[in-house]
Structure 1
């Protein structure tokens, strides 16, 4: 196929406003870069926070949202390879993560790409400056040379691989940061969005004897039960800590994971954690939360751990996780039916009001006719 010189994209020009469909320039790939046709983009909570303006900074707009995505390579720059050294070719199905420099303290001394001081997020690229479209809500995306690319195995579906790019890798990194989940232990999951429900399943697979998922609305808590929760606690029904303690005979949870980020999460996590338990902070990305006494951490001898997103290693492990546990849970139940690019605004608004857990955009469903933007075949996306 001939590489188009422009791509249709859903552009955020104003927080809280509908996305605007626009034609953006599509550069030919420089050495190390590739251009992909987007097969699937799954919306993440961060996309919703950026759209609403809860997460913002001066000069970020206009931009193309979407940082969980899968694409098919349609053009390859000289020497382009995936993160494991495999040469990329036209037709390869790939996912990709943030770019890192490989030279800073975080990359070299800490050996933690997640702490790269020059970490580049494709979905924070302004859409009015080169290379324009580097995120998921577009027909085509430019994948920069430094972006960590992964060639995807056939067994992992597009939607699963897309979710692995942020939500799943974030959860798996948090479990690694938490340390060993003792077989039979009690795990409390704060939050019933995509991360919290997926974490519920991971806790069950990790050997937890009891999993308690805390959140709202009732539909999401029902989904959490499908993914392994033994008990659910609706935050609308009163004191969360008292109910978790009642469910655990007053002892509390051995490990508490914050995937919610509400101001009350901190004191609730400390209050519901068992003596010598572990609290893992993952979702508290916003303003400072409600205070809690440090003496409570001391008195219970708690371990409090922070966990930030995830890097290419976590991404690769998330792909391995879906391959290994493909039949363990109905992972497809996390996702809404895919829609075209023109309906992306509707899906963002639905997620903002908690009506959907994980919306999916497949730009091919409403792409303009023509060989360069053909729709998916009747049998659906390649698994």
Structure 2
């Protein structure tokens, strides 16, 4: 099979507008350590929706190909291409990959934290009009750069689960690790009922929480939260005071031992601190915007709270997410998180559906019409 020199892709040209189906060039040569992959599945993330809508934007980012949770079949490799565990990546292998890191900066070498890399590169941050053009998920073929951490995937792991492991699942698992995990029998509040919040609800339940409370909307997602281990839910239509009061009632007036933000709304920090129990823990994951949000530091001090930030995840978290699905694949209805796969021509419709909260996690298979 000849190596393709171009690829069909759905390109974001203007925020909030339909994606533009077009043909993009591919690099003429596959560099050492790189791979060219035919994408078989891309699962859309909340970040994709925020970029599409313009909520997350910066000068010069467009045009771009969205999608940073994806898997595919290798069609060409450069010399010496190996995965993160040192295994050769052959043509025909199914792989997933994480964002690229430089391996040379302070974050990489001194902190030894890939998430702190000063040149960390996501596929969706690559402009589609400059080399290497197509590095993200909403493209028939994607160029996986040498610095991107790659993983050979288990044969029995569904594409959707493997793709979700590349961002949503690894982000959640890193947050649990950074905050110190779940104390068996403790009370856990998950703020947010999107894909991250629902996955976190399941992880808290599996980890032995005594009571898991999911805060979010709409009602359909709160119902879904129950299927993923939530013992109770609180609808955000109650407003900030009502949310906090609802959690306190559900916890016998004590509040939550662990509060996890996967929502990112301006009121989330204040609510998290208010609903936390004495000496509780709060982990902030979903607050991604540049706007400052008030946090009542007097309450943090008075309750002796521990507040932790957690940023996305790295290749280690990605590997753990894949192993998590392998270990707990039968424990939860994971397939309920995903929509019906569509081709690139319907990707715009699915992004808009996620923006309306009509779909938890859209699935795009670029091989479909």
The TM-score range, normalised by the shorter chain, is over 0.9
SS at match of 1:364: coil
2:189 matched to which residue of 1?
A: 188
Q: Any gaps of 5 or more consecutive residues in structure 2?
A: none
1:303 matched to which residue of 2?
A: 306
1:332 matched to which residue of 2?
A: 335
Matches within 5 A, 1:34-49: 34-49=35-50
Q: Displacement, 1:292? A: 3.2
Question: Distance between the aligned counterparts of 1:218 and 1:180, measured in 2?
Answer: 28
Residue 236 (structure 2) pairs with residue 231 (structure 1): no
Question: Distance between the aligned counterparts of 2:295 and 2:123, measured in 1?
Answer: 36
The TM-score with structure 1 as length reference comes to: 0.95
Question: Distance between the aligned counterparts of 1:282 and 1:290, measured in 2?
Answer: 14
1:23 matched to which residue of 2?
A: 23
1:171-219 superposed Cα distances (whole Å, 9 cap, x missing partner): 0000001103111000000000000000000000111010000000001
1:244 matched to which residue of 2?
A: 247
Matches within 5 A, 1:193-208: 193-208=194-209
SS at match of 1:365: coil
1:378 matched to which residue of 2?
A: none
1:258-282 superposed Cα distances (whole Å, 9 cap, x missing partner): 0000000000000000000000000
Question: Distance between the aligned counterparts of 2:136 and 2:295, measured in 1?
Answer: 39
Residue 322 (structure 2) pairs with residue 319 (structure 1): yes
Q: Displacement, 1:289? A: 4.7
Residue 284 (structure 2) pairs with residue 281 (structure 1): yes
Residue 260 (structure 2) pairs with residue 257 (structure 1): yes
Q: Answer yes or no: is the 8 Å Cα contact 1:187–1:256 preserved in 2.
A: yes
Question: CA 1:101–1:248 in structure 2 vs 1: closer, same or farther (change >3 Å)?
Answer: same
Matches within 5 A, 1:125-164: 125-164=126-165
Q: Any gaps of 5 or more consecutive residues in structure 1?
A: 367-383
Q: Answer yes or no: is the 8 Å Cα contact 1:265–1:289 preserved in 2.
A: no
1:379 matched to which residue of 2?
A: none
2:177 matched to which residue of 1?
A: 176
SS at match of 1:120: coil
Q: Answer yes or no: is the 8 Å Cα contact 1:262–1:289 preserved in 2.
A: no
Question: Distance between the aligned counterparts of 1:6 and 1:81, measured in 2?
Answer: 24
Moved over 4 A (4+): none
Question: Distance between the aligned counterparts of 1:132 and 1:31, measured in 2?
Answer: 18
1:81 matched to which residue of 2?
A: 82
SS at match of 2:368: helix
Q: Displacement, 1:36? A: 0.3
1:308-340 superposed Cα distances (whole Å, 9 cap, x missing partner): 000000000000100111111111010001011
Question: Distance between the aligned counterparts of 1:94 and 1:46, measured in 2?
Answer: 22
Question: Distance between the aligned counterparts of 1:74 and 1:50, measured in 2?
Answer: 29
The TM-score with structure 2 as length reference comes to: 0.98
Aligned-residue CA RMSD (Å) = 0.8
